[in-house]
Amino acid sequence: MSTATTSVPADTRLVNRPLTANRLPKWAPAAVAGGSIALGCAIGAIGGLASHLQWGLISAALFVVISYVLSAQVEGRRQAKDRLATSVVWVAFILAVVPLAALTFYTVQQGASVVDGNFLTHSMKGIRTSGPGGGIYHALIGTLEQVGLATAMAAPIGLLTAVYLVEYGRGTLAKVVTFFVDVMTGVPSIVAGLFILSLWNLVLGFNYSGFSGSLALAILMMPVVVRSTEEMLKLVPNELREASYALGVPKWKTILRIVIPTAIGGITTGVMLSVARITGETAPVMMLVFGADYINTNPFDGPQQSLPMYIWQQYSMVNNDFGYARAWGAALVLIAFVMGLNLIARGIARWRSPKGGH
């Protein structure tokens, strides 16, 4: 910019008029933000608004309005609109950060004092729910077994379906499967639970067990595995397949030895993410596993417990401060488990992501 002005020294009026004349200085948004927060708090304090939520909302509204008006005065309408959009986007960001940060922080704060060695290694058997004590050992075992069984069922089927869609799928059947896989990702978990209940428990006459819960979880997991595996298989460069065919390797061996190993990082990530998702499912487990307060290590026989259901029971059925504390402890363990899985999965994705070959 400066080179253009220096190379045309003839027109002094242009030279003397700096390009940044009618722009707000760089620190303006920060200053406006600070000012509107102060003003918002002042209004809140004077108006006697009890909720700090409202103070924040007033400040946010003030920020948007003030920066628009200021910019419209100094910079003109187009720039003002740009500023309006920018400030709205920033406000949206902050609006989202507040509850999400509050959720994480509050869970850690409430749960950290509850989780200890005793909590992790004891069940609720013989514990009076009106008092403290007890733990989540039985729920941990139940969750691990149910999720493990569900993964053992859903992952192979999902993987094979994805292979079918990417490697073999031509024609109507593939299109129909693709569409219904997409639709299936939206099946509410409680509907999956109802279905397994009516088929497995009512029609076939099986009893409540961890396994019937994992059947429902498998239904929820399958479409997610299919979709993510599909994406990963599509990323495998066609040259690899062609090279393999050129060496006379049959198709099934090419898929098993070339295509899947190339994409295995992404596939693992997808499976782990879907595991993380079904671990937190409450509704189907609640209907099908029934909830026991003792340790039952056999998922095929009798009621079990699971972490999400434990939280639900401690909140809604125990419904006292000791129950809430136990619920927060279990919630912290559950979140830590799910987020840990997520982080590991994304780490694997980073480490072994197939480089796109198109």
Partner 1 sequence: MTSSSPAAPRGRERRKRDSRVGDKIFMNAARGSGILLLVIMAAIAGFLTWRSGIALSKNEGNFLTTFEWTPDAPKPVFGIAVLAFGTIVSALIAMAIAVPVAIGIALFISHYAPRKIAQPFAYLVDLLAAVPSVVYGLWGALFLVPHLDGLTSWLNDYLGWTYIFDQSRAGTTPRNLFTVGILLAIMILPIITAVSREVFRQVPRMHEEAALALGATRWEMIRTAVLPFGRPGIISASMLGLGRALGETIAVAIVLSSNNVLSLHLLDPGGGTFAQNIALKFNEAQPFGRDALMASGLVLFVITLLVNGAARLIVARRKEYSGANA
Question: Looking only at residues 123 through 152 of this chain, which bind partner 1 when binding is defined by CB under 8 A?
Answer: none
Q: Toward partner 1, which CB reaches closer, 17 or 251? A: 251
Q: Which of residues 66, 177, 258, 318 is near partner 1 by CB under 8 A?
A: 177
Angle at the Cα of 98 (from 94 to 101), degrees rounded to 5?
A: 125
CB of 9 to partner 1, least distance (A): 26
Q: Which of residues 182, 239, 242, 301 is near partner 1 by CB under 8 A?
A: 182
Q: Is 245 in the site for partner 1 (CB under 8 A)?
A: no
Q: Toward partner 1, which CB reaches closer, 10 or 211? A: 211
149, containing H or E segment: helix 137-163
Q: Give the binding range for partner 1 (CB under 8 A) out of 12-20, 21-29, 122-130, 330-338.
A: 330-338
Q: Which of residues 18, 250, 261, 357 is near partner 1 by CB under 8 A?
A: 250
Q: Are 341 and 151 in contact (CB under 8 A)?
A: no
DSSP 211-239: HHHHHHHHHHHHHHHHHHHHHHHHHS-HH
- Of the candidates 110, 133, 146, 117, the one whose C-alpha atom is nearest the C-alpha of residue 331 is 110
Q: Is 258 in the site for partner 1 (CB under 8 A)?
A: no
Q: Which of residues 72, 144, 157, 264 is near partner 1 by CB under 8 A?
A: 157
- CA dist 309 and 307 (Å) reads 5
Which residues from 269-328 bind partner 1, rule CB under 8 A?
Answer: 270, 273, 276-277, 279-283, 286-287, 308, 311-312, 315-316, 324, 327-328
Q: Are 135 and 118 in contact (CB under 8 A)?
A: yes
Q: Toward partner 1, which CB reaches closer, 80 or 124? A: 80
Q: Toward partner 1, which CB reaches closer, 100 or 297? A: 100
- CA dist 67 and 51 (Å) reads 25
In DSSP terms, 304 is beta-bridged to: 290
Q: Which of residues 11, 82, 116, 239 is near partner 1 by CB under 8 A?
A: 82
Q: Is 346 in the site for partner 1 (CB under 8 A)?
A: yes
CB of 24 to partner 1, least distance (A): 13
CB of 275 to partner 1, least distance (A): 10
Which residues from 183-242 bind partner 1, rule CB under 8 A?
Answer: 183-192, 194-195, 197-199, 202-203, 219, 222-224, 226-228, 231
Q: Which of residues 28, 41, 43, 88 is near partner 1 by CB under 8 A?
A: 88
Residues 6+ apart with CB under 8 A from 179: none
Place of tokens 């990963």: 232
- CA dist 43 and 37 (Å) reads 10
Q: Toward partner 1, which CB reaches closer, 164 or 206? A: 164
Joined together, the tokens standing for residue 57 give: 């909302």
Q: Is 243 in the site for partner 1 (CB under 8 A)?
A: no
Q: Is the dihedral of CA 182, 183, 188, 194 positive or negative?
A: negative
Q: Which of residues 32, 60, 150, 181 is near partner 1 by CB under 8 A?
A: 181
In DSSP terms, 302 is beta-bridged to: 209
- Of the candidates 109, 134, 108, 131, the one whose C-alpha atom is nearest the C-alpha of residue 120 is 134
From residue 91 to residue 130, what is the string marking binding to partner 1 with x (rule CB under 8 A)? xxx-xx--xx-xxx-xx-----------------------
DSSP 232-276: HHHHS-HHHHHHHHHTT--HHHHIIIIIHHHHHHHHHHHHHHHHH
- CA dist 283 and 308 (Å) reads 9
Q: Is 164 in the site for partner 1 (CB under 8 A)?
A: yes
Size of the site for partner 1 (CB under 8 A): 105
CB of 31 to partner 1, least distance (A): 19
